[in-house]
A = this chain, B = another copy of it.
Amino acid sequence: MLAFENDYSEGAHEKILQRLMETNRVQQPGYGNDEYSQSAKEKIRAACQCPNADIYFLVGGTQTNALTIAAYLGPAEGVVSVQTGHVNLHEAGAIEYTGHKVMPLPAHDGKMDAGELEIMLRDFYADPTYPHMVHPGMVYISHPTEYGTLYTKAELQALSAVCRKYQIPLFLDGARLGYGLMSVGTDVTLPVIAAYCDAFYIGGTKVGALCGEALVFPRNNAPKRFFTQVKMHGALVAKGRLVGLQFDTLFTDDLYLEISRHAIEMAQYMKKGIAQRGYQFHLDSPTNQQFVVLDNEKMKKLEKQVRFSFWEKVDDDHSVVRFATSWATRKEDVDELFKLLD
């Protein structure tokens, strides 16, 4: 059966498995003090042009979001996110479980508008009852967003400017960052993200690793006792080498970018082919997630031969579904999908 339901249906890029084999019996200290983690950090610092970055390797995205947000927020502070943000909708209340509110703003194809953010912050402090309310204490965005869309460099700069004006850190969820970096026409690079954000993570799980996210505090600005907080969240793995080695591999010879580029090429090929077949897109995504409108009958028929994700209802007869490509997508499978859509 064909599978385009997500970008985590396969294992890992083979170079990663190969290095796991090669290094398997080398004895290394635990908890991230292994040499692979150290090497990976150096490579990521170089790629971000942040020689002083603090870097932590974690296992998954929700964990990374909850840990980072809770580490930054003080009591009675909340995190601002668009309504459709992963932390607001699809993390089972992980943020609230740490005691903090997610403060929603409207989403524009998954993105936050800097102007709306500024109005929210201005109005908050203009309201004389604000000491009785949750204080906005951090801004969370994702790039690519949950809808596959991307910020421009200018948009990131604008968000960053508002955050700095109000002295609120800006955090970028990069669970699918590779697919954003390799998108056609983007002007957002790792150094750009590092310049405008106070914390961000480079997703591994969805970009060719077995598991793992690299959390970057670009200017030696990790929250106090962050290592202990990682432990407290149950996020510290004994064999830190597992994630460290994967990122060391992904950041050797630009593997991370190379496999992301492949996913984008496959997505562009898929997008063109679907459009040619007369289907409508829910929105224009430049990354590896494509949101297509299907009539429900077609959708039901397709489900028997392809795995994809139901996204949302359009009307009683139509639905939005998601097809995702990844580092592992094969061109022949996309061609097969085309046949089923004909």
Contacts and interface: CB of A to CB of B under 8 A. Distances in A.
A294 B328 CA distance: 54
Contacts of A94: 231-234
Contact of A229 (B21, B76, B223): B76
Main secondary structure of the interface of A (DSSP, over half): loop
Given A11-B241, A59-B211, A98-B99, 6 more contacts: A6-B30, A71-B75, A77-B225, A90-B133, A91-B232, A92-B231
Contact of A24 (B3, B10, B23, B26): B10
A226 B93 CA distance: 14
How many A residues are at the interface, by size bracket?
A: 35 or more
13 contacts: A3-B27, A10-B24, A10-B28, A11-B24, A11-B239, A14-B24, A62-B236, A75-B232, A91-B234, A93-B100, A135-B225, A205-B238, A211-B238
Interface of A: 1, 3, 5-6, 8-12, 14, 17, 20-21, 23-30, 59-67, 70-71, 74-78, 89-94, 96-102, 128-129, 131-135, 205-206, 210-211, 223-225, 227-229, 231-239, 241-242, 307, 310, 328
A229 B97 CA distance: 10
Contact of A92 (B8, B10, B74, B132): B132
